[in-house]
Amino acid sequence: MVQLGSRLLKGYRGGHVVIRFALGGCTNRPFFRIVAAHSRRARDGKYLEQLGCLDPLPNARGEKVAGLNLERLRHWLGCGAQLSRPAEKLLGLAGFLPLHPMTVTGAERLRRRRRAQEAAVPPVAGGLQQPGEKP
């Protein structure tokens, strides 16, 4: 038991409580647990409390299922916990927090990229038709 003590009763210098995703699951099958943990702990290590879960793969109905224990989330936020960026984005999508600015920025960038790709495609198609038109 003395051997376990040093690993379980770890004391850190500094650090704070964060609410972040802990990755679990198997190969090619991720599963995230939304967790309140010390910031210096390992990503999948010992946490203070599990506040929910997220399944990143869509189910048979085409839905990504997420559960959030809002009462305990409010408690930890009240205790001064920080949020990781993916956690903030997820809560923005859920409607608990306002939409994250990076979500908006990412959406705009994706739109811009798609528009650029669509604009790039027609001139190539026009160029390819020329050999066919002139026999």
User: What is d(CA 9, CA 29) in angstroms, rounded to the nearest whole number?
Assistant: 31
The reply on whether position 84 binds other proteins by CB under 8 A is no
Q: Is 32 in the site for other proteins (CB under 8 A)?
A: no
| Contact call for residues 4 and 28 (beta carbons, < 8 A) | no
Of 17, 48, 68, 77, the one binding other proteins (CB under 8 A) is: 68
Write the CA distances from 50 to 8, 57, 64, 73, 124, integer angstroms.
18, 20, 19, 10, 53
- Strand ordering across the sheet containing 82-83: 49-54, 29-38, 17-26, 82-83
Q: Is the CB of 11 or the CB of 62 nearer to other proteins?
A: 62
Nearer to other proteins, 15 or 101 (CB): 101
Decide whether 39 or 50 has the Cβ nearer to other proteins.
50
> Contact between 110 and other proteins (CB under 8 A)?
yes
* Contact flag: residue 71 with other proteins (CB under 8 A): yes
Query: In the 8-state DSSP scheme, what is residue 27?
Result: T
116 is an interface residue for other proteins by CB under 8 A: no
If one asks whether residue 108 binds other proteins (CB under 8 A), the answer comes out as yes
Query: Assign residue 33 a region: left if phi > 0, alpha if psi is -120 to 50, beta otherwise?
Result: beta
Using CB under 8 A, list all residues that contact other proteins: 52, 58, 62-72, 93-95, 99, 103-104, 106-108, 110-111
